[in-house]
Structure 1
Amino acid sequence: GTLEGVDVGDSVGKTGGQTINIRGMGADYTLVLIDGRRQSTAGSVTPNGFGETSTSFMPPVSAIERIEVVRGPMSTLYGSDAMGGVVNIITRKVGDVWGGSFGADVTLQGDDEFGTIFGSNIYANGPIVTDLLGLAVRGSYSTRDPSELTYEAAGGVEAPVTGFGRSSTGNEIWSLGGRLNFTPHADHDLWLDLDTSSQWYDNSTGQMGTNTTAGGYGDALEFKRHQAALAHNWRLGFGSLESNLSFNQTETVGRIIPNGVAGAGGPRKLESENTVFDTKFNSQWENHTFTVGGQYWDAEMMDGVAPVAFEHQQWALFAEDEWRFTETFAVTLGARYDDHSAFGEHLSPRAYAVWNLTDNWTLKGGMSQGFKTPRLEQLAAGINGFGNQGRTPLLGTPTLQPETSTSAEIAVFYDNRSNFRADFTVFNNTFEDKIATGEPVANCSFGVSQANYT
């Protein structure tokens, strides 16, 4: 089905992969979660138009129970990146009996200029020890033949389609993961989840980037991700406490250090490591349903064109309360406080109201603020990357502040409780402190002095 305000495939990157945009905000402002764990990294290890590769690190379809989408800023609960909205992919729970599924598919194009696509996925779960220990395993594999698109050029000459991402290159994508569930007590659940995945793309003819030292690309590009998560759910008599510790390592292989930089011609290391601890307490008291929690995020990024690693630490506290005044009217108030090692403090408030006018009509509206922290490399002093096919050095700015947005909306919903639903929403986004590329700096080099930024 479709969901208004959400665009999938509105734009594509150099690999031909699709992006997720919400309410006109680009993919960088959509926070993607898997079981509540953020998938975005603090620094970009896929620079120069490869950000869409993150959508190919998702679990296989057979492992997904449902997908939840929240439109509009949700930084109050989720922090950075949730300016446009949130997509939370919920995976299937381990069952009481063993079961599973296997699927395979092939896409044969109507025009043989487009490459054939093959795909498969597998999922199985069940108990190892009834009511105590359970296991789920999942995997997927797909491959695509290269497209060989052409167009009629001047003079009626047939010419190949050029331009990165416009003619999909050959690729191979796979993932493998598993989860171990442990229930030592009726009130406690613990689980360990491990996942590894890889995307390989052919660049032998420079389909995605000039494959020379000057261009900074090799004959193939590979994007890797390894994840681990340990979680605990505690069902208390007066609420529930959910905590998880996650580790995400994302790496790009196949980039080359361009000319003019120490080590030119050698492999360019692009690797990011993110360790995040999340905890939240959910409870009810009289006509209040509330959540309080916190987060600690330690991030590090290594880039072969920079002399040192980029890093930051960030912690946050948040609270949200749904206050139900009557059976038909409720107001939600929330706020989040973040403290970042580079730019300091930030506060994100939210207020939202829901009024069930009748059994069929509902009125909703509110205001919320979102923010996005500068990427690790954007805060670095000196050269942090290259654009223009390896010819233009890019510099960071240590004094950057977060991008922020304020969103106001009002919506009317109708549901006849049978076979028809409709809604009408009006919203306004005010965007401030947009981070953009500035004017070129002459004779730039590593370790540029603070005076260059002020």
Structure 2
Amino acid sequence: MRSQHTIALLSLLLANPLASALAAEPADEPMETIVVTATGSASSTLLAPASLTVISREQLMNVSDQQLVTALRKTAGVSLSGRSVGGRKVIQLRGLESKHSLILIDGKRVSATDDVVGHSDFQYEWLPLDSIERIEVIRGPMSSLYGSEALGGVINIITRQSQGDAYSSLAINGTLHHANQGGGKYGINGQWVQPVSDQVTLKAHLGHKYQDDMLDTQDPRISALEGQRVSSLQVGLDWQVNPQHGVDIEYLLSDEKRWQHTNFRGTAPFYKSWYNLERDQLSAFWNANFEQWSGHVGYYRSAIDVRHATDNATVAPYSPQFLLDHVVESKFYRDINTARLTLGAEWRYEKLEHNAFSGGGDSAVHKAALAQYEMDLVEDVYLTLGGRLDHHEFFGSEFSPRAYAVWLIQPDLSLKVGYGHGFKAPTLKQISPDYRFDGPHTFLGNENLQPETSDSWEVGLRYEGINFNFSATVFHNDIQDLISSVCIERCGGRFGHVNQYVNLDQAQVTGFEFESAMPLHERVQLTNSYTYTDAKNKQTNEGLPARPRHQGSLGLHIDWLANTLSSAIDWQYIGKQHTATYTGLVALPSYSLLNANVSYTRGNHRVTLSASNLLNTDLLEKSEAFGYQEQGRSIDLAWHWQF
């Protein structure tokens, strides 16, 4: 309890410089940060109609393990949930499950595997962090722009783009753990961008990383964290045909293998299990600027092939699964005096192959049309109205409205108030009458399912000064028709239940988010985040599992020599929570993580020495009910060369 109060108190104390910061006469204009995810076109973070966080290229370069989850975990509104296999963990936004957060790469959705492949976290390894320019995290429903899955928010991964100049880079890193448990890792990434003419630019990125599995401290026959090997390729062509028209073509390929030592449902035999994951995404977009309208028409295809194997003949592997999305989209906007009108349409074909379907698979077509209008309501007050109508061939139509107002109180301070409706379509497994999976339990599809929906309200302040910035938001979510599986036959005993998917649960999530950055000295910066989440099942009034009520972080960054030598230390606190087991909810204790790094830059070379989990926090020592594990104490050395 003391740690929870400490986090909240520190957050409030760090907000105290606001009064003096607001009163101070600015010596210069603060640097403006531009985002594209909140409206589909460029807007500043101060005026963007959303609660958001931008994770910069500099921050990504200091992520020691080069994992997307690690890069996001200290962000306000983000929490982690375990998947109970191989130490996997997934991202939750504002207390909603990972399946309610839409993952985009440059605005293009990736195959949503979290709610399709059991116990998976396969959405986060489409490309290495080295190829990412920034990550835009939008908290709150965004179905008015992006459709299904965007209940909790959107995570848009923006890759590094050509700025007209040729450049190349090479990055190598390696990690050692202090204990003889495995878990060692290394990675290498190379990027090349080359304009071949005034109109055409070619680009390529190659990446490879390896991580050994980490053994369980309680039982070394089992892997606490699974091993991983990922190789990726990203190639692209940017062709500016003329000042008004351009073509972008990109192809992304990722080959991943994961392995772990485990046992069969908690008992012998002990065996090795591994997954082979192949991902690819092909996209082609035409960008146009006409006299009155600007926008794009594009096509992209995303696919992931999941295959499982074991080294024990008595343990049958899981059946292969193949997910495929074909998407054709168009979005154009027009400025009308000081207002902007955006119109768009989308057609998506979704297919899933799995032998649990009576025909070997199933498919569905999604169609959507959207409109958005951004206007100056009165002086310094901006209103964004939007709506999207989605049609699904199984359940019918769903309309997602959104209204958001931003009041620019003064040039560096804004008040944001918004409402949004979001939805998530049932997966093909859940809604297909031809689906029946037989395993430890049996699961049946239900063609009468309706989409999960949410209605969200938020009020926030955002300040962006020269020497201090902060954002604070209060939010409330009502979630309806959550899809659950209920036992309909053979419900006694631990295994053998026959379950069917139904719209059953209703939930309510209320919370508060705070982030700040402030200088303590000319070369010393303090960062802070805090999240309070109250999530409960409205039928039972019980708290939802895997939602810490209190989370927070503190970071200290010091530039010892300008643009040459710097260091950073950060601390993260994850509060008490509950986890769901077959016997009911189990309480989990709070824990903390402490990390540090030192970076030295000389010319085009940068060397970073990182120490992760300095407290050597072992979750399984705290409670065996944790559904994931943290890496043990480790040292990482990384070298980056840009030329």
Cα distance between partner residues in 2 of 1:86 and 1:182: 29
Match of 1:66 among 115, 125, 134: 134
- Give the whole-Å Cα distance in 2 for the aligned partners of 1:267 and 1:133: 46
Answer yes or no: is the 8 Å Cα contact 2:105–2:158 preserved in 1.
yes
Selected match of 1:329 from 381, 388, 398:
381
Q: Deviations over 1:238-259 (max 9, x none)?
A: 2312121011111111259xxx
Residues 1:419 and 2:441 are matched in the alignment: no
For 2:296, give the aligned amino acid: E
Measured after TM superposition, the shift of residue 112 of structure 1 is: 2.7
- Equivalent in the alignment of 2:294: 240
CA distance in 2, matches of 1:126, 1:46: 39
CA distance in 2 between counterparts of 1:231 and 1:186 reads 16
Q: Does 1:192 align with 2:249?
A: yes
TM-score by length of structure 2 reads 0.61
What is the rounded CA distance, in whole Å, between the counterparts of 1:91 and 1:171 in structure 2?
A: 23
- Answer yes or no: is the 8 Å Cα contact 2:111–2:302 preserved in 1: no
What pairs with 1:199-348 in structure 2 (closer than 5 Å)? 199-203=256-260, 205-206=261-262, 219-254=273-308, 268-308=319-359, 309-348=361-400
Alignment of 1:87-236 (within 5 A): 87-128=155-196, 130-151=197-218, 159-160=219-220, 162=222, 167-203=224-260, 205-206=261-262, 219-236=273-290
1:399 aligns with 2:448: yes
Aligned partners of 1:306, 1:75: CA distance in 2, in Å? 29
Given that 2:141 and 2:456 are in contact with CA atoms closer than 8 Å, whether structure 1 keeps it comes out as yes
Return the alpha-carbon distance in structure 1 between the equivalents of residues 376 and 264 of structure 2. Answer: 53
Moved more, 168-177 or 396-405: 168-177
Cα distance in 1 for residues equivalent to 2:354 and 2:458: 41
Q: Distance in 2 between matches of 1:186 and 1:43?
A: 41
**Residue equivalent to 1:14:** 85
- Which shows bigger deviation, 90-99 or 332-341? 90-99
CA distance in 1, matches of 2:205, 2:395: 40
Which letter maps to 1:172?
A: R
Q: Is the 8 Å Cα contact of residues 211 and 218 (structure 1) preserved in structure 2?
A: no
CA distance in 1, matches of 2:113, 2:282: 17
Aligned residue pair count? 419
Match among 108, 123, 129 for residue 54 of structure 1: 123
Q: Deviations over 1:122-167 (max 9, x none)?
A: 1111112x1222211012111112212223xxxxxxx4375xxx71
Offset, 1:372: 0.1
SS of the residue corresponding to residue 76 of structure 1 reads helix
Alpha-carbon distance in 2 for matches of 1:40, 1:398: 22
Q: TM-score, normalised by structure 1?
A: 0.85
1:271-308 Cα shifts (integer Å, max 9, x gaps): 11110111100221012122110100101111022221
- Residues 323-363 of structure 1 deviation map (CA, whole Å, 9 limit, x = unaligned): 11234101111111111100011100001100112234321
Q: Distance in 2 between matches of 1:313 and 1:177?
A: 28
> CA 1:336–1:5 in structure 2 vs 1: closer, same or farther (change >3 Å)?
same
Give the structure 1 partner of residue 75 of structure 2.
3
The residue identity in structure 2 corresponding to 1:370 is G
Q: CA 1:169–1:3 in 2, change beyond 3 Å: closer, same or farther?
A: closer
Residue of structure 2 in register with 1:370 after alignment: 422
Task: Quickly say closer, same or farther: Cα 1:95–1:287, change in 2 above 3 A.
Answer: closer
Between 1:353-362 and 1:242-251, the stretch displaced more is 353-362
Aligned to 1:438, the other structure's residue is in SS state strand
Q: Give the structure 1 partner of residue 154 of structure 2.
A: 86
SS at match of 2:262: coil
Matched residues, percent identical? Answer: 28
Return the letter of the residue paired with 2:220.
P
Cα distance, 1:209–1:175 mapped onto 2, change above 3 Å: farther
Q: What is the deviation of 1:19?
A: 2.1
Aligned equivalents of 1:424, 1:401: Cα separation in 2: 34
- Could you say what the CA RMSD is over the residues aligned between the two structures, in angstroms? 2.9
Q: 2:459, 2:251 → 1: CA distance? A: 41
State the alpha-carbon separation in 2 of the partners of residues 13 and 64 from structure 1: 29
Q: Does 1:438 align with 2:505?
A: no
